[in-house]
Structure 1
């Protein structure tokens, strides 16, 4: 990771632990608690994740842990009090200032950047006219300073949007999710727009509902395809049989 012009990101704490059942080839899991500070917004971030799934994140303005999911369990208050975390955040800022001075010295260090990659998909199987949720998953995020917005048919959408804070990944980058409550209809065009304002970079990912084939139509199509294949195989077998008989008669005629 590098920093230039005071724009770098300092990952102040990264804790990895391998957990798994005792077996010949045990599964390996990662528990990571990542604290970062940066000149961009958000200036501070703290997340606890398990296998890239966010469990908790710390809300610095309110000085409390919040679950990654709205209905998730509460954070055990006896573990890492807010005062301890605020001290860590202060240390992170001091280290960031020091490293920024070093990175912008006589031999500047190039800044590490990742081009965000967005993917949009439905949370539940598609049923036209029924409520559902669109998910915009953004990976390869570094530094963690992006905004996610939605559009429907080219018109910005703000209602029904739920954004999740940054989740650390194994490559020391981040990923982020945004959710949009939708009722898909034929002809809709949804767009997830990921913007990195510092260098004016935007990435778009589109989603268009594909009309699923009804089960009876699909069943009829499958039966028709099977019958056609069976007929073709029967004709092919008959042709091979006739060819074999002709070759046999030809040999007897030559004798």
Structure 2
């Protein structure tokens, strides 16, 4: 196992265990996690603060915490200052290198196969602006590249990505967004490439084309009308036969 995988898993498990708190039986338990990872691949460093499965802040290892949502309050400047976090990152890198020397060739390297899902942010309507969401799960280590294609041609305009969010199963998730105006015949694909071995996972999305049921509905209406007319005609014919039968009995 590579040093990056060993360290990321250990830190993630420790963060989740330390963040769990005992809650009253009538209250739901929540988990606040602060996960630091380091690895040879890009990004070489990552630090995320999450509440349950939602990311709240991401540290850029320059000078600031970046909120995931714009309406979140800023990170308190006196809480975990950048020099303290950089010191933790340096320790992480030293530990990763030491673990790599100890375990390389002795145990297999842990790697997850990413799972991608593409869906529209709002109900899709042809010709109406929308946003496609590519949810990438089971990422480990957190080193993947997410790209978009339209009919096989790479698309870079209108693309945004989120940072990696750690999960309770010792993996990571990541979102990618693409602004689109779907049209008939479009085929969108989200391509997830795992760094290091150049393996890719592709998820597709095709807008549904509304069916023109005009002629079919007219034919259905005509058939219903003909059936009703035939029913009335058969009813009248039955009444006439009954009247004729009674007259034959009398005369």
Q: Structure 2: how far apart are the matches of 1:109 and 1:50?
A: 33
CA distance in 1, matches of 2:41, 2:47: 15
Check the 8 A contact 2:41/2:195 in 1, yes or no. no
Q: Deviations over 1:182-235 (max 9, x none)?
A: 111121110000001311210000001113579xx8xxx9xx9xxx9xxxxxxx
Equivalent residue in structure 2 for 1:125, among 99, 107, 123: 123
Corresponding residue number in structure 1 for 2:42: 41
| Aligned twin of 1:110 | 108
Give, in whole Å, the separation in 1 of the partners of 2:81 and 2:152: 45
Q: Which runs of 5+ in 2 are unaligned?
A: 225-251
Moved over 6 A (4+): none
- How many aligned residue pairs are there? 214
RMSD: 2.7
Q: 1:135 aligns with which of 133, 154, 157?
A: 133
- 1:79-118 matches, cutoff 5 A: 79-104=79-104, 108-118=106-116
Q: CA contact under 8 A between 2:139 and 2:171: conserved in structure 1?
A: yes
Q: For residues 156 and 59 of structure 1, do their structure 2 counterparts lie closer, same or farther at Cα, with a shift above 3 Å needed?
A: same
Superposed CA offset, 1:12-45 (max 9, x none): 3642334697553x32222111000001111100
Task: Give the secondary-structure state (helix, strand or coil) at the position aligned to 2:5.
Answer: coil
Confirm whether residue 78 of structure 1 aligns to residue 75 of structure 2.
Answer: no
The structure that has the greater radius of gyration is: 2
Contact 1:136–1:177 at 8 Å: present in 2 too?
A: yes
The structural deviation recorded for 1:66 is: 0.4
TM-score relative to the length of structure 1: 0.76
Conserved? CA contact 1:9–1:38, under 8 Å: no
1:28 is aligned to: 29
Q: Which residue of 1 aligns with 2:240?
A: none
The residue number in structure 1 matching 2:231 is none
In the other structure, the counterpart of 1:201 is: 199
2:178 equivalent to 1:177: no
Q: Which residue of 2 aligns with 1:53?
A: 54
The structure with the greater share of residues assigned to helix is: 2
Distance of 2:35 and 2:4 partners within structure 1: 18
SS in 1 for 2:101: helix
2: CA distance between counterparts of 1:120 and 1:20? 37
Unaligned runs of 5+ in 1: 229-255
